[in-house]
Amino acid sequence: MPMDLRPTTLLLATMLALHATGVSAQRIQIPMDEDWTFHLSQDVERLSARRVDLPHTWNAQDALAGRIDYKRGIGNYEKVLHVPHEWQGKRIFLRFEGANSVADIFINGIHSGRHKGGYGAFVVEVTDKVAYGQDNTVLARVNNGENLEVMPLTGDFNFYGGLYRGVQVIVTPPACLSPLDHGSPGVRLMQDSVRHDFARVRAIVDVSNANDMARQAVLRLRLLDGDEEVLRKDTAIRMEQGAAQSHEIGFTLRDPHLWDGREDPFLYTVEVALLVNGAVSDAVRQKLGLRYFDIDPDRGFFLNGRHLRLKGVCRHQDRAERGNALLPAHHDEDAAIIADIGANAVRAAHYPQAERFYDLMDSLGIFVWAEIPFVGPGGYNGKGFVNTTEFKENGKEQLREMIRQHGNHPSICVWGLFNELTMTGDDPTDYVRELNDLAHAEDPTRPTTAASNCDGEINFITDLMAWNRYDGWYGGTPAQLGEWLDKTHAEHPQLRIGVSEYGAGASIYHQQDTLVKPAPVSWWHPENWQTHYHIESWREISSRPFVWGSFIWNLFDFGAAHRHEGDRPGINDKGLVTFDRKTKKDAYYFYKANWDETEPMLYLAGKRCTTRNKAMQQFMAFTNLPEAELIVNGQSQGKAKANSLCVVRWENVQLKPGENTIEVRGKDGKTRLEDSYRCTLQAK
């Protein structure tokens, strides 16, 4: 049914808004996610539209079925918005958190705004375009078609179309904290100096006055620790008629409680209120996590003065049956899995992700590599850069949006500028320099980085650098990763080196009892090779302290319609967890044993290999215990020590014909851990 904000509902919405801000503000924020009508542009018959709720994509079926011709064009989303009389004299904004990739907004049939870029939020003011006391129509025409003016041009992932994130109505007084600065919250927090005993922060506050005269006002900043006010600062300002202005409010704090990653992800709250005639006119709250970090070319990453190896995973924002139209519960589940494996960093590939995900990373103490969708073709045909004014300006705009929208998140430690660009044709090197300068101008507190798979000058522009390496999957062996790292570090001793991607494909349905390397582009991706690959790759990475961070590609299988490999088309199966998040592959538990120090664990690898062809077998377990014992068919095969990679192996174990029971046991004090499965030895 159409959204109908009658007085009772309006009162409820207002009360909820006041409760959310914790002050007597007049801002109202109401979700608009339910009851849209949708049709693709080619469906021109009047009754072709159907009801949908947001988030929504029209590519959840065709792209994930491996159709390389999945629908890329225009989808139309329409909704009725009732605007009460009570809103007259206020300002009304619509905030779209994500529309891929070009969105045109119409109010009552009148074009009211356009946004180019599929992964950032944008805000359209509709104050003068709506009819008060009446139903109004909101139409979003969203186009995910190929467009040489908009990043990304290519990529090894699906370009799902739709309103795949939420939409909000925001109602404010005429004088307000402006939501119009590149979709930012209107309050940006710059951590100019942070140490254990001192912090200096600048709040950059955007205000806007739609009144017909100038106003004297006060900006009140409060720093809160829970409900306790730590400090308050009032700043008198003059709001010019019809003008948008920025004001800076600086404050200092002695002996701050630091945001300390997974050890202690403590968050203050900064509340900025706009007071007109002594009353709160508008207010915004933002979380603040005070921290400092350094990256040394030889010793790696340091958080708040102590060394911290960044043990990271990459995450694409999509999943089975949903595409990229994720619900809050999906972000929550992904965050819980990232925490469970013991990771302390995540690369949000290859685009800005949902606000909720960054909030979760803040609260869990997990560092984030956030990046714009400046993506090259990888191993495929295509071009990630065209040297046109329109494309370059769009990339800069997406970079500004990302930094201004998400810069308050303490979890974000680096801004990523590109992934796997090529130098053939239009050379992006000079443009990357422009992006690097822009990132530093927008945020002088964070370093820049990039993910490369080529040689050349482009690798020496950003503050940090990382490479996508697949030694042992696309040719070579994992040992060659270590050789390459040592060579690069020796040749460029001042370069701060990371590993932005490493991984291998695996299907939980592809099992073998011998270790044989598969062809990456084949339909056979055995799980045990992925496990072997990650054991050996982590051996190389973990033994080199100069690597500032490493990021597994990928934590989850993800959609890539053009792929034809593994157990089905349309899926990149390099994830440590299946696309539906239901099954964690063996390599997942290898990393959990190495990374998760919060609880003892013991996992028996190879349990999906239920049919065996050889009588003499090797068995392997992952554990953070000192040792484990293997029992086969009730008979102990002895205890074995875990090596430095938390791997326990038993060689030359005899199976009997038919069914065999395999068990592994270990103890952590009085706590007994065990794991088991059954397998069958085939008769010859």
Strands 497-502 and 549-552: parallel
Cα–Cα distance measured from residue 556 to residue 92, given in angstroms and rounded to the nearest whole number: 39
Under 8 Å CB-to-CB from 329, ≥6 apart: which residues?
none
Any idea where the domains of the chain sit in the sequence? 7-172, 187-288, 293-598, 611-681
Name the architecture of domain 7-172.
Answer: Sandwich (2.60)
pLDDT in tens, 27-81: 999 999 999 999 999 888 887 899 999 999 999 999 999 999 999 999 999 999 9
**Nearest to 288, CA basis, from 230, 237, 338, 233:** 230
Q: Token pair of 376, please?
A: 């090259």
- Give the pLDDT of residue 15: 38
Cα–Cα distance measured from residue 145 to residue 156, given in angstroms and rounded to the nearest whole number: 16
Query: Is the pLDDT confidence value at 2 over 60?
Result: no
Question: b vs e for 127-156, b when ≥16 Cβ sit within 10 Å of the residue's Cβ?
Answer: bebbeeeeebebbbbbbbeebeebbbbbbb
* Pair 574, 469: CB distance under 8 Å: no
- Adjacent-strand bridge partners of 138: 79, 107
Output the CA torsion sign for 45, 50, 55, 58. negative
Cα–Cα distance measured from residue 156 to residue 101, given in angstroms and rounded to the nearest whole number: 16
Written out in words, the top-level CATH class of the domain with range 611-681 is: mainly beta
**Nearest to 482, CA basis, from 490, 441, 639:** 490
Q: What is the 3-state secondary structure (H, E, C) of 365-392?
A: CCEEEEECCCECCCCCCCCCCCCCHHHH
Written out in words, the top-level CATH class of the domain with range 187-288 is: mainly beta
DSSP conformation class of 458:
G
The answer to whether the peptide bond before residue 350 is cis (omega within 30 degrees of 0) is yes
- Give the pLDDT of residue 16: 41
* Pair 174, 212: CB distance under 8 Å: no
* Pair 266, 256: CB distance under 8 Å: no
- Provide the 10 A C-beta neighbour count for residue 451: 28
The average pLDDT across 504-517 equals 97
- Give the pLDDT of residue 379: 77
Cα–Cα distance measured from residue 436 to residue 370, given in angstroms and rounded to the nearest whole number: 14
Cα–Cα distance measured from residue 348 to residue 443, given in angstroms and rounded to the nearest whole number: 19
Structure-token match 């967890």, residue found = 577
Indicate the pLDDT class of residue 242, thresholds 50, 70 and 90. Answer: confident
DSSP SS3 for 484: helix
Cα separation values, 662 from 67, 603, 608, 638, Å = 42, 12, 12, 13
Instruction: From the options 3.10.25.10, 3.20.20.80, 3.30.505.50, 3.90.45.10, give the CATH code of 293-598.
Output: 3.20.20.80
Residues of the chain above pLDDT 70, percent = 96
* Pair 131, 108: CB distance under 8 Å: yes
Query: Is the pLDDT confidence value at 484 over 70?
Result: yes
- Give the pLDDT of residue 7: 33
Listing DSSP states for 77-129 in one string gives: EEEEEEE-GGGTTSEEEEEES--BSEEEEEETTEEEEEEE-SSS-EEEE-TTT
Q: Token pair of 317, please?
A: 């924002």
Mean pLDDT taken over the chain: 94
DSSP conformation class of 517:
P
420 in active site: yes
**Nearest to 280, CA basis, from 24, 606, 472, 572:** 24
- At residue 469, what is the residue type? R
Output the CA torsion sign for 126, 127, 130, 136. positive
- Give the pLDDT of residue 408: 98
Q: Do the domains spanning 7-172 and 187-288 agree at the CATH topology level?
A: no
Q: Which is catalytic among the residues 271, 355, 420, 540?
A: 420
Q: Token pair of 44, please?
A: 């021109």
pLDDT in tens, 359-417: 999 999 999 999 999 999 887 888 999 999 999 999 999 999 999 999 999 999 999 99
Residues of the chain above pLDDT 90, percent = 91
Query: Is the pLDDT confidence value at 24 over 60?
Result: no
- Give the pLDDT of residue 25: 57
Query: Is the pLDDT confidence value at 569 over 50?
Result: yes
pLDDT in tens, 145-158: 999 999 999 999 99
Under 8 Å CB-to-CB from 83, ≥6 apart: which residues?
5, 92, 130, 131, 132, 133, 134, 136
Query: Which runs of E-coded beta strand occur in 268-411?
Result: 268-276, 279-288, 293-296, 300-303, 306-307, 310-315, 345-348, 367-371
Q: Token pair of 165, please?
A: 């994130």
